[in-house]
Amino acid sequence: MKKLVNIGFATAILAIAFMSCNDNNDDFPEINEVNRVAIDSIEIMKDSVEVDSMEVNAIQKIITYSDYAQGCEGFYGYDYQIEDFDRLVTAYKYKTNSSCGQPKALPWNFDFRPNQTGTYNFKFWKGKDSLDADVWIEKTIVVVDSL
């Protein structure tokens, strides 16, 4: 009898596993591509004119704005490269097989929490110029022991 229960339990587990692996994704749009998206503007929550200051180990919310075609595009993620006190930030968008509407600027954010004092230089990828060179929006954040 115990073997029969074990066989029935194993059969039930296998049936659930096969059903969860069903490849029927008709209800969800398929992502066709992922590409860089230009960051049009940046908002640093404690933004001053040129230089932002914050305390070490504090959290600074940084919001980026990019254009996405409504219905078929959305935010995919950031590529956040760190080298000493320099930060290169590139945003990525996904595109689905859904029909596209008009572009709309949408905000996405990340938190910056430095654990060392110093002057941090941020570069946000804005796109390419007419000579196909990368264009960056630059921001500086000075991190101090206390304000």
Buried b (16+ CB within 10 A) or exposed e, 37-69: bbbeebebeeeeeeebebeeeeebebebebebb
pLDDT greater than 70 at residue 79:
yes
pLDDT at res. 2:
47
pLDDT at res. 94:
96
- Tokens 């390419």, residue located: 128
Range of the domain at 53: 31-144
Compare 98 and 47 and report the one with higher pLDDT. 98
- For 15-56, write each residue's pLDDT tens digit: 555 555 555 555 678 899 999 999 999 999 864 444 578 999
pLDDT at res. 4:
44
Within a domain: 24: no
Q: Is 47 helix (H, G, I), strand (E, B) or coil?
A: coil
Report the length, in residues, of the chain: 147
CA distances from 44 to 98, 101, 108, 139, 146 (A): 33, 29, 12, 9, 19
Within a domain: 63: yes
Within a domain: 1: no
- For 105-144, write each residue's pLDDT tens digit: 999 999 999 999 999 999 999 999 999 999 999 999 999 9
Output the domain CATH number for residue 58. Answer: 2.70.50
pLDDT at res. 39:
98
Average pLDDT over residues 83-89: 97
Q: Is the pTM of this model over 0.95?
A: no
Within a domain: 55: yes
Within a domain: 22: no
pLDDT at res. 49:
45
Within a domain: 49: yes
The candidate with the shortest Cα–Cα distance to 85, out of 116, 106, 54, 41, is 116
How many of the other CB atoms lie within 10 Å of CB of 12? 10
Residues 6+ apart with CB under 8 A from 83: none
pLDDT greater than 70 at residue 62:
yes
Output DSSP code: residue 100: P
Count of domains for the chain: 1
Within a domain: 119: yes
